[in-house]
Chain A
Amino acid sequence: MSTSLRSSTFAIPGLAAIATFLGLKPASRGRWSMPPRVEPTIAPAPPRSERIEKLLAAARTQPDLQMIEWQDEATSGAEPAAPREDVRALEPRRRKLRDRYIAARFPGVAHSGADLADSATVIESARFWFEDARPALAFELLQLAIEEAPQDPAPALARIEFRFLMRDTAGFVEAARAFRAAHPKHEAWDEVCRLGRAIAPGEPLFGSPAAARAHEHYGPWPHLPNWIQAPWDLTAEVCAADFHRALANP
């Protein structure tokens, strides 16, 4: 049993005043008494010719506009990311919890963090989730793998390519920056810059545009380096369609 404070007479002192004070809209069923409508006061309109003159005068004056600094929505107001600690140096209790989480989150892929050192399996699983429209899981797995084996560039490069495929500019730049910091002299950096100039042309991290190369078109998708280790032939796709046809339409 509960008591409602709702009544047409507002038994509680001040409740109607509170509602009015807060500017909450009145109820259609009499929750608050409707305040009397206040008609806006409108100044008498000037003659038409006078208004036209004013408009023309305003149009002749050059407006003094400030330059608008355009900020990317994804980066604006973002808190600076806290530096991530080295997970390989976690105390045993926390290490165990992390391993248990990895096993529960990625069943069939890893039993513990140590299994994520197998970058081929990690990238293949991430690609599957990406194909199944679950990119958050793919990126989480790659992030965990990068933390487990920071010396291995493969998961970091795969993450860059996934960001490129998603046309996620902010994510791409962030992933590229992290890769540059972790592998400053890696030979794939030129390739990252080439993709970066395509997706974020104004980003100074990727340098100035270079001339197109002789063999730009390669990989399963044109112009992509295939760090995500997608198969090069379509045998599996053709077989999958045949299999579907055989079973779904027997």
Chain B
Amino acid sequence: MPSRYAFNLGFDTDQGRAEFERERRRLEGDGTFALDEAAERLLELAHALDSGVSRCKGQLLSMPLAWDDDSDALGSWIARQHQALAALGARRVEAMRRENRAADLIERVAAAALYHFGEAIKWNTTGTRPDYTALHDLLLLSLPQDRHRVPRTCVVDGRRRETTLEALYFRALLLDRFCAGSLPRSQLELLDAWLGEWTAALRGEREAPQGAALRVDLDRNAGLREGRPEEPGASLYLAVAPLEKLRRRVIDELHAGRLTPAHGCASELRLEEHVALLDHLERAFHGEGESAVPAARAGREAHAGLRVEVWVGIAEILANGMSVGIETGRWRVVDLQDPAIEEQKRARFGESTKRYLWQVDTSATGCGFQALDTDAQGISLGDVVGWRRLPGGPVSIGYVARRQRDAAGQVFIGVRLLTHAAQPVTLTSEIALDAGDGRATLFVPGDDASGRSDGFLIAEGDYETRIARAAHTSSGKFRVRLNRIRNRGRGWLLAGFEVTPAGVERPVSPALAMEPVETSLPVLEDQVRADAWDFELSARLRG
């Protein structure tokens, strides 16, 4: 059946977007349609939105992490349209239930509403929370006779997909849980594609299952939280173990040279995105290290707001935070023509180039910064940043684990701490030809006094395991060989290393060193054979 909506679906243009929005507003405001017809129109409009977004999504996701203004505007517009359709769908479901309309049509509209709730959450970058009560109500209405577990087919990204109302509900809630600014858009899209394949595991139970679980309180305007069975309220529990099992299956499939999903926009993402998301989910499902339970969030201490200068990237931390590689001109002040003097002069007026953020909370594992949009430009997820807690104190280093912009144009930046006491160390090659090629790096001491968790923060391209480098300290010279990658982010690595004692340099005695070297070769007496070929002939041939 041809669609009623044969308009242009090019959402990357203002005209295409305006055309769609006009139709949507008309459907929202027009009360002349009968309930069933209005529902059918809503489903068609929802399908049109999905088709239009599919066309521009690939291009949006293939862009680097930092989007330009046009891409941001398009992403926000898509989020608003999904949100509007989800809310309209929820209202239609409510009205149709009141009028006792056909159950099949009601459930189709409910499925569309749940799906668009999830899409709205996925595309929304402002961090505003959805109306969870509307989501819960959509599920509650389908609970009798287990209608929420009836398999149904829906079309997503132009492909048919088997799902249930319950799976769509938990998909929206899981996306909401992971949409806290810690995953870039491309990885959210991939996560959504995986959730589409994991329908069987998206089941809620009324009793808390064995092992880790997430809990949703149907009574509250809240999403999925860590499951605590003793809390009162009408709850559903989502077991984590089946999700972890499916995560491992994704890894098994990659071992066999197959991608999950095999088709669609997510299958075209770089493999590094798959690996990063697998690691993120492992931490979310398991916690870090040997603990078998998801890590509890560290206790936070709110600050009134401490203004700190922040440096982004290893080079900037070394140069501005530790003055490594900066010529101060201290010993050359007599040379009035020295360019360092002019540079220092200019640096006094370089305040505008500095980046200041407001530190708003701290915890044992990191801290949170608030920034103006302009100050936060150029800071992306995974960037390494440095700052000082106290003037003249040691430099703290961490990486951006969360970045979320709110509606007021402020950006919250969550930083995962690496160390509060970074030290600049220059690693020099032991190969004579490369002796002048010393690399300034950041030494990141671990908590353990044995040094087993220490690391060097280095640029991605500097990781080399075969060559040992020399590090000079106040206690002498050590030979250091990088041997493992402990952590990594955008352009940086935290490399573990092994230390061996530097070889003892034996002084050469002056007498030996001054002795002339004999360069002439000894004269050998030429022994000419009588028969040049005799040794090549066997005794039999020689007779």
Main secondary structure of the interface of B (DSSP, over half): mixed
Q: Mark B63-102, 1 if CB is under 8 A from A, else 0.
A: 0000000000000000000001011001100100110100
Q: CB-CB < 8 A to A239: which residues of B?
A: 478, 499-501
Given contacts A5-B137, A133-B290, A248-B421, contact A18 B473 (CB under 8 A): no
Q: Tell me whether A25 and B475 are in contact (CB under 8 A).
A: no
Stretch from A9-17, A62-70, A193-201, A214-222 forming part of the interface with B: A9-17
With an 8 A cutoff between CB atoms, is A205 at the interface?
no
Once bound together, how far apart are the Cα atoms of A28 and B232, in whole Å?
9
Q: Which residue of chain A is the closest to B276 with respect to CB atoms?
A: A104
Tell me the residues in window 323-357 of chain B with beta carbons closer than 8 Å to chain A beta carbons. Answer: none
With an 8 A cutoff between CB atoms, is A57 at the interface?
no
Q: Tell me whether B94 and A3 are in contact (CB under 8 A).
A: yes
With an 8 A cutoff between CB atoms, is A223 at the interface?
no
Once bound together, how far apart are the Cα atoms of A19 and B480, in whole Å?
66
Q: CB-CB < 8 A to A18: which residues of B?
A: 140-141, 143-144
Given contacts A12-B94, A132-B496, A133-B290, contact A125 B140 (CB under 8 A): no
Q: CB-CB < 8 A to A25: which residues of B?
A: 232-235
Q: CB-CB < 8 A to A95: which residues of B?
A: 257
Q: Tell me whether A97 and B258 are in contact (CB under 8 A).
A: yes
With an 8 A cutoff between CB atoms, is A114 at the interface?
no
Q: Tell me whether B218 and A3 are in contact (CB under 8 A).
A: no
Q: Mark B226-242, 1 if CB is under 8 A from A, else 0.
A: 00000011110000000
Once bound together, how far apart are the Cα atoms of A64 and B530, in whole Å?
109
Tell me the residues in window 8-49 of chain A with beta carbons closer than 8 Å to chain B beta carbons. Answer: 11-15, 18-19, 21-29, 31-32
Once bound together, how far apart are the Cα atoms of A60 and B97, in whole Å?
62
Q: CB-CB < 8 A to B271: which residues of A?
A: 97, 100-101, 104
Given contacts A140-B251, A246-B473, contact A97 B234 (CB under 8 A): no
With an 8 A cutoff between CB atoms, is B149 at the interface?
no
**Contact partner, A2, options B86, B425, B471, B488, Cβ 8 Å:** B86
Q: CB-CB < 8 A to A129: which residues of B?
A: 484
Q: Shortest beta-carbon distance, B139 to chain A, in Å?
A: 11
Q: CB-CB < 8 A to B235: which residues of A?
A: 25
Q: Tell me whether B256 and A2 are in contact (CB under 8 A).
A: no
Q: Which residue of chain A is the closest to B234 with respect to CB atoms?
A: A24
With an 8 A cutoff between CB atoms, is A244 at the interface?
yes
Q: Shortest beta-carbon distance, A15 to chain B, in Å?
A: 7
Given contacts A104-B275, A236-B499, A247-B423, contact A98 B474 (CB under 8 A): no
Tell me the residues in window 94-133 of chain A with beta carbons closer than 8 Å to chain B beta carbons. Answer: 94-98, 100-101, 104-105, 107-108, 124-125, 128-129, 131-133
Q: CB-CB < 8 A to B140: which residues of A?
A: 5, 15, 18-19
Once bound together, how far apart are the Cα atoms of A76 and B496, in whole Å?
39
Q: Mark B280-310, 1 if CB is under 8 A from A, else 0.
A: 0010000001100000000000000000000
Q: CB-CB < 8 A to A107: which residues of B?
A: 463, 485, 488
Q: CB-CB < 8 A to A241: which residues of B?
A: 449-451
Q: Mark B496-534, 1 if CB is under 8 A from A, else 0.
A: 101111000000000000000000000000000000000
Once bound together, how far apart are the Cα atoms of A100 and B275, in whole Å?
11
Q: CB-CB < 8 A to A185: which residues of B?
A: none
Once bound together, how far apart are the Cα atoms of A128 and B486, in whole Å?
10
Q: Which residue of chain B is the closest to A6 with respect to CB atoms?
A: B133
Q: CB-CB < 8 A to A53: which residues of B?
A: none
**Contact partner, A237, options B258, B450, B484, Cβ 8 Å:** B450
With an 8 A cutoff between CB atoms, is B104 at the interface?
no
Once bound together, how far apart are the Cα atoms of A227 and B474, in whole Å?
38
Q: Tell me whether B454 and A240 are in contact (CB under 8 A).
A: yes
Once bound together, how far apart are the Cα atoms of A129 and B279, in whole Å?
14
Q: CB-CB < 8 A to A94: which residues of B?
A: 256-258
Q: CB-CB < 8 A to A136: which residues of B?
A: 282
Give me 11 A-to-B residue pairs in the complex whose CB atoms sit less than 8 angstroms apart, sorted by A's number.
A18-B141, A24-B234, A94-B257, A97-B254, A101-B271, A104-B272, A236-B500, A241-B449, A244-B446, A246-B476, A247-B473
Once bound together, how far apart are the Cα atoms of A84 and B234, in whole Å?
44
With an 8 A cutoff between CB atoms, is A245 at the interface?
yes
Given contacts A28-B233, A101-B275, A243-B451, contact A147 B475 (CB under 8 A): no
Once bound together, how far apart are the Cα atoms of A55 and B282, in whole Å?
52
Q: Tell me whether B425 and A247 are in contact (CB under 8 A).
A: yes
Q: CB-CB < 8 A to B91: which residues of A?
A: 2-3
Q: Tell me whether B97 and A12 are in contact (CB under 8 A).
A: yes
With an 8 A cutoff between CB atoms, is B483 at the interface?
yes
Tell me the residues in window 125-142 of chain B with beta carbons closer than 8 Å to chain A beta carbons. Answer: 131, 133-134, 137, 140-141
With an 8 A cutoff between CB atoms, is B159 at the interface?
no
Q: CB-CB < 8 A to A14: which residues of B?
A: 144
Q: CB-CB < 8 A to B274: which residues of A?
A: 101, 104
Tell me the count of chain B residues lying within 8 A, CB to CB, of chain A.
69
**Contact partner, A244, options B86, B131, B450, B498, Cβ 8 Å:** B450
Q: Shortest beta-carbon distance, B488 to chain A, in Å?
A: 7
Given contacts A97-B257, A100-B271, A133-B289, contact A244 B449 (CB under 8 A): yes
With an 8 A cutoff between CB atoms, is B36 at the interface?
no
Q: CB-CB < 8 A to A22: which residues of B?
A: 143-144, 206
Q: Which residue of chain A is the closest to B496 with respect to CB atoms?
A: A128
Given contacts A240-B451, A240-B454, contact A2 B100 (CB under 8 A): no
Tell me the residues in window 220-270 of chain B with beta carbons closer than 8 Å to chain A beta carbons. Answer: 232-235, 251, 254-259
With an 8 A cutoff between CB atoms, is A165 at the interface?
no
Once bound together, how far apart are the Cα atoms of A140 and B498, in whole Å?
23
Tell me the residues in window 442-461 of chain B with beta carbons closer than 8 Å to chain A beta carbons. Answer: 443, 445-446, 449-454
Q: CB-CB < 8 A to A235: which residues of B?
A: 500-501
Once bound together, how far apart are the Cα atoms of A13 and B251, in whole Å?
47
With an 8 A cutoff between CB atoms, is A1 at the interface?
yes
With an 8 A cutoff between CB atoms, is A85 at the interface?
yes
Once bound together, how far apart are the Cα atoms of A59 and B453, in whole Å?
59
With an 8 A cutoff between CB atoms, is B219 at the interface?
yes
Q: Which residue of chain B is the closest to A81 with respect to CB atoms?
A: B252
Q: Which residue of chain B is the closest to A94 with respect to CB atoms?
A: B257
With an 8 A cutoff between CB atoms, is A149 at the interface?
no
Q: Which residue of chain A is the closest to B501 with respect to CB atoms?
A: A239
Q: CB-CB < 8 A to B133: which residues of A?
A: 4-6
Once bound together, how far apart are the Cα atoms of A107 and B480, in whole Å?
20
Q: Shortest beta-carbon distance, A149 to chain B, in Å?
A: 15
Q: Tell me whether A248 and B445 are in contact (CB under 8 A).
A: yes
